[in-house]
Amino acid sequence: MLVAPQVAITLVFFFWPAFDSLRLSLYRSSPFGDKLIWAGLANFERLFGDPAYLRSAVTTFLFSFLVTFAGMGVALLLAALANAKIRGLGAYRTLLLWPYGIAPAIAGIIWLFIFHPSYGILPYALSFVTDYQFNWFLKGWVALLLITVAAIWKQFGYNLAFYLAGLQAIPESVLEAASVDGAGSIRRFCTMTFPLLSPVTFFLFTLNMTFAFFETFGLVHSVTQGGPGDATTILVYKAWKDGFEGLQIGISAAQSVVLMVIVILLTAFQFRYTEKKVVY
Amino acid sequence: MGGHGSSGAGTIAVSVDTTAARDLPRRRPDWNSRITHGILLASVLVLAFPLYYAFVISTQSLGEVSSLPPKLLPSTSMIQNYADAWQRAKMGRMLVNSAVMALGIALGKIAISLLSAFAIVYFNFRGKQVVFWMIFVTLMLPVPVRIVSTFQVISVLGWVDTYWGLTVPLMASATGTFLFRQFFQTLPDSLAEAAQLDGAGPLRFLWSFVLPLSRANIAALFVILFVYGWNEYLWPLLITNRPEMRTAVIGIEALVPRSGSQLPEWNVIMAAAMMVLLPPVAVIVFMQRWFVKGLVEIEK
Do residue B148 and residue A249 have CB atoms under 8 angstroms apart? yes
pTM recorded for the entire structure = 0.86
List Cβ neighbours of A65 (8 Å cut-off, separation of 6 or more). Answer: none
Do residue A100 and residue B3 have CB atoms under 8 angstroms apart? yes
The more confidently predicted of residues B164 and B10 is: B164
Do residue A16 and residue B116 have CB atoms under 8 angstroms apart? no
Whether B163 is covered by a domain: the verdict is: yes
Confidence of residue B1 (pLDDT cuts 50, 70, 90): very low
Residue-by-residue pLDDT tens, chain A, 280 positions: 677 888 888 888 888 888 888 888 887 766 655 667 777 788 888 888 889 999 999 999 999 999 999 999 999 988 888 766 677 777 888 888 899 899 999 999 999 999 988 888 888 888 888 878 788 888 889 999 999 999 999 999 889 888 988 888 888 777 777 777 776 778 888 888 888 888 889 888 888 998 998 889 999 999 988 878 888 899 999 999 888 887 788 888 889 889 988 888 888 877 776 654 444 3
Do residue A24 and residue B148 have CB atoms under 8 angstroms apart? yes
The interface predicted TM-score (ipTM) is: 0.86
Whether B4 is covered by a domain: the verdict is: no
Query: Any bridge partners for residue B78, and if so which?
Result: none
Report yes or no: A274 and B10 within 8 Å, Cβ to Cβ: yes
CATH code of residue A108: 1.10.3720.10
Confidence of residue B3 (pLDDT cuts 50, 70, 90): very low
pLDDT at B255: 82
Strands A36-38 and A27-29: antiparallel
Looking at chain B, which residue has its C-alpha nearest residue A89?
A: B18
Looking at chain A, which residue has its C-alpha nearest residue B259?
A: A137
Whether A136 is covered by a domain: the verdict is: yes
Whether B19 is covered by a domain: the verdict is: no
* Chain B residues closer than 8 Å to A253 by CB: 148-149
Q: Measured between alpha carbons, how far is B167 from B236 in angstroms, rounded to an integer?
A: 10
Range of A213's domain?
Answer: 50-275
Task: Find the CB nearest A98 among B6, B152, B285.
Answer: B285
pLDDT at B261: 59
Do residue A103 and residue B231 have CB atoms under 8 angstroms apart? yes
Task: Find the CB nearest B140 among A162, A165, A263.
Answer: A263
Do residue A82 and residue B39 have CB atoms under 8 angstroms apart? yes
Do residue B233 and residue A15 have CB atoms under 8 angstroms apart? no
Listed residue (A12, A259, A249, A215) closest to B148, CA to CA: A249
Tally of domains within chain B: 1
CATH code of residue B139: 1.10.3720.10
Report yes or no: B175 and A267 within 8 Å, Cβ to Cβ: no
Whether B73 is covered by a domain: the verdict is: no
Do residue A102 and residue B139 have CB atoms under 8 angstroms apart? no
Task: Find the CB nearest B112 among A5, A96, A214.
Answer: A5
Amino acid occupying residue A180: V
Task: Find the CB nearest B233 among A105, A168, A200.
Answer: A105
Range of B244's domain?
Answer: 80-298
List Cβ neighbours of A233 (8 Å cut-off, separation of 6 or more). Answer: A52, A55, A56, A59, A220, A226, A227, A241
pLDDT at B87: 85
Whether B246 is covered by a domain: the verdict is: yes
Q: How close, in Å, is residue A181 to chain B by CA atoms?
A: 19
Looking at chain B, which residue has its C-alpha nearest residue A219?
A: B233
Interface test with A, best of B46, B59, B147 (most A CBs within 10 A): B147
pLDDT at A169: 81
A228 prior amide bond cis, ω within 30: yes
Report yes or no: B39 and A82 within 8 Å, Cβ to Cβ: yes
Whether B138 is covered by a domain: the verdict is: yes
Summarize the confidence of residues B1-26 as an average pLDDT: 42
Tally of domains within chain A: 1
Do residue B68 and residue A24 have CB atoms under 8 angstroms apart? no
Looking at chain B, which residue has its C-alpha nearest residue A98?
A: B281
Task: Find the CB nearest A84 among B32, B111, B258.
Answer: B32
In order of A57, A200, A203, B70, B182, the CA distances from B11 in angstroms are: 32, 11, 10, 49, 12
B50 prior amide bond cis, ω within 30: no
Whether B262 is covered by a domain: the verdict is: yes
3-class DSSP state for residue B83? helix
Do residue B145 and residue A169 have CB atoms under 8 angstroms apart? no
Whether A41 is covered by a domain: the verdict is: no
Do residue A13 and residue B70 have CB atoms under 8 angstroms apart? no
Do residue B280 and residue A252 have CB atoms under 8 angstroms apart? no
Query: What percentage of chain B exceeds 70 in pLDDT?
Result: 87
Amino acid occupying residue B166: L
* Chain B residues closer than 8 Å to A85 by CB: 21-22, 24, 26, 28
Whether B70 is covered by a domain: the verdict is: no
Q: How close, in Å, is residue A261 to chain B by CA atoms?
A: 9
Task: Find the CB nearest B1 among A5, A214, A253.
Answer: A214
Do residue A92 and residue B118 have CB atoms under 8 angstroms apart? no
